Structure 1
Amino acid sequence: MNMIAVPLARTYDHPSYEDPYDAVQDYNRVVEAAAKNPNKGSAALSKVVELPRSRIRAWVDDDGMPDPARGVMLAQRHGWTEPDAEMTETLAALAGHLLGGGSISTETYVPSVAAGRRVSLDEIETAFREVGVRPTRRHEAVDSRATEVHPATHGSVLGRTLAAWGCPVGGRSTVETLPAIVEYTGEASQVAFLDAYVRHRAVNYPNKATSRLHGQQPLAFHQAIADLITTVTAEHASAGENGVTVSADAMRALDLAEV
């Protein structure tokens, strides 16, 4: 198992396990034992793996699977837990959209993103499609609510995987660090994250060359954003209590300067 599988499994609750990742390990042991003993049913296999038959019966006799194992397997099949370079960039971009204009639901772990001043709903839908899920929209007919894009398929597993990578769950107001996916493959994922995040948050002021990334997160998060911009662009960005000030040279280096 890779480093993301463990925190991903632990986003689930399982009535028989204090640590849900243990359910993943037990399931894998049972599957391996069943493959080696194809003629044994759940009663016989329970003695082999030293687990109660009541726990493994559905796994062996009905092709069932504990939720943590199902989530890890689905995330692995989509390439989210050990992403290649292309998938890392798309996950990093989606993380930028989430931290810039979205959230992961506390109750369901489904991620959703609203449009920004420079980010359209169509672009957000594309970001979800590129990680392998089908997007849909909600609140389009509700004047008092912003229209949001969220996955219509595998949304909970995607949100749990993004949470395992370090995206905040339940809002963005307390996040202090950048998601680990941003650093997973170096500069390419850093640029993908910043491109999405900055276009959600940047505001340009009349008669000023700088841009402002407004935010209500702790100073540590704003400093992490400023440091990342400086690292990627070799230009100036400074953090404050209410956001990040980005120099015109840095915005040009990110190819995000507005005429």
Structure 2
Amino acid sequence: MPENVAVLDERDLARTYNTPAYDDPYAAVMDYQAVMRYASEHPNKGSGAISSALEIPRGRIRPWLESGSKPDPARAIDVARELGWLDARYLDREFVGLNTLVANVFSGGSISTGRFEPSFALNYREHRSHVIDALEMVGLEYGFHNEESDDHATEVRPTEHSSVLGRTLAVLGAPVGPKADLEDLTLPWYLENAPYETREMFVLAYLANRGTHHRTKDTITVQEDRPESYRRELAALVEDVAKEPVTVGEQNVTVSAAAARSLGIQPRYESERIANRE
């Protein structure tokens, strides 16, 4: 996909919804748009006349005309467009944020089954975690949860348009539901043809959440109790971005010290080592 073309397709977003009256949820969007366009062009026509003209059941379109309701897929598309997600290209601020949030679903978050509501665990930087910057980049307010809990990690969640965000991330390839249950888990489809900057940001966000640093060496270990095919795919992505060796173990991926340095990742225990040498 060319870098100057929008990544998201509104049809895919619409099709994350269940619309009982339509086999294809996007057809509900097209009907709604046709009705509203016809009504604006014929302001003296009532719902009955519009129903006959467009051959859409009157009971379906009356709420659209009289109470301002919309099919859920149409509302989601409007939200995504207003926030700039649908027009965003790879290097646009909005897509940089979406890409980062997708990486966070894989490495430290989740999207609930059914409601498509995402939540993101804060990493070792806590309230300075990059996921907060990402939510701001996509234009959403957020709130923190489990801050006083000793049993659960503090999470950040959108306080508006949560389901639309979750569905958007799912369209981009973020897993929905428990990742441990997904035997065919794969990395997002858009990374294959994405520019280097997009792939690099995904890798850096992923490693910031799941990478384990060591006190005596600069390698980074990523524990991944996921299918071997996924670990190999992840290792190949990191190695391609870093241009240095990354290896796959039985339940982990190891980023070599050379790869970590190439990615510009600062060892978390560096200050400790300097103090010990002194």
> Is it true that 1:120 corresponds to 2:115 in the alignment?
no
Other-structure match for 2:274: none
Q: Kindly indicate whether the alpha-carbon contact (under 8 Å) linking 2:236 and 2:246 is maintained by their aligned counterparts in 1.
A: yes
SS at match of 2:212: strand
1:159 matched to 2:133? The reply is no
Question: Per-residue displacement from partner, 1:90-118 (whole Å, max 9, x unpaired)?
Answer: 1111111221110011132111111223x
The runs of 5 or more residues in structure 2 that have no matched partner are 1-5, 271-278
Residue from 246, 252, 255 that aligns with 2:255: 246
Mean alpha-carbon deviation: is it higher for 189-198 or for 121-130?
121-130
1:139/1:3 CA distance change after superposition, 3 Å: closer
Q: CA deviation at 1:252?
A: 0.8
Amino acid paired to 1:122: R
> Which entry has the higher C-alpha Rg, 1 or 2?
2
Cα distance between partner residues in 2 of 1:213 and 1:245: 6
* TM-score (normalizing by structure 2): 0.86
* Corresponding residue pairs, total: 258
> What is the CA-CA distance between 1:181 and the residue it aligns to?
4.4
- Pick from 9, 15, 36 the counterpart of residue 31 of structure 1: 36
Gaps of 5+ in 1: none
Distance in 2, matches of 1:169 and 1:51, equals: 34
CA contact (8 A) 1:88 1:181 kept: no
Tell me the distance in 1 between the aligned counterparts of 2:55 and 2:7.
Answer: 25
1: CA distance between counterparts of 2:123 and 2:178? 17
2:95–2:138 CA contact under 8 A, matched in 1: no
Deviations 1:199-221 (A, max 9, x none): 11111234444221112222222
CA shift for structure 1 position 37:
1.8
Q: CA–CA distance in 2 between the matches of 1:240 and 1:4?
A: 37
Task: Quote the offset at 1:166 in angstroms.
Answer: 0.8
1:228 aligned to 229, 237, 242, which one? 237
Shift of 1:2: 7.8
- Provide the rounded CA distance (Å) in 1 between the counterparts of 2:175 and 2:257: 29
CA distance in 2, matches of 1:127, 1:45: 44
Choose from 4, 17, 23 the match for 1:18. Answer: 23
Does residue 89 of structure 1 match 2:96? yes
State the TM-score, normalized to the length of structure 1: 0.92
Residue 275 of structure 2: aligned partner: none
Give how far 1:3 is off: 5.4
Match runs of 1:1-259 below 5 Å: 4-84=9-89, 85=91, 86-117=93-124, 119-123=125-129, 124-173=131-180, 174=182, 176-183=185-192, 185-258=194-267, 259=270
CA distance in 1, matches of 2:45, 2:248: 62
CA contact (8 A) 2:222 2:252 kept: yes
Q: Contact 2:175–2:185 at 8 Å: present in 1 too?
A: no
Alpha carbons 1:90, 1:192 under 8 Å: kept = no
In the alignment, is the contact (CA less than 8 A) between 1:92 and 1:181 conserved in 2? no
C-alpha displacement of 1:122: 3.3
- Using the alignment, how far apart are the partners of 1:14 and 1:22 within structure 2? 9
Contact 2:14 2:26 in 1 (8 A): yes
Whether the 8 Å contact between 2:8 and 2:85 is mirrored in structure 1 is no
- Residue type of the alignment partner of 2:64: W
Cα distance in 1 for partners of 2:218, 2:168 equals: 38
AA aligned to 1:51 is: I
Alignment partners' CA distance in 2, 1:41 and 1:243:
63
Give, as a single letter, the amino acid of the residue that structure 1 aligns with 2:18. D
1:26 CA displacement: 1.3
- Evaluate the alpha carbon distance shift between residue 160 and residue 184 of structure 1 in structure 2; reply closer, same or farther with a 3 A threshold: farther
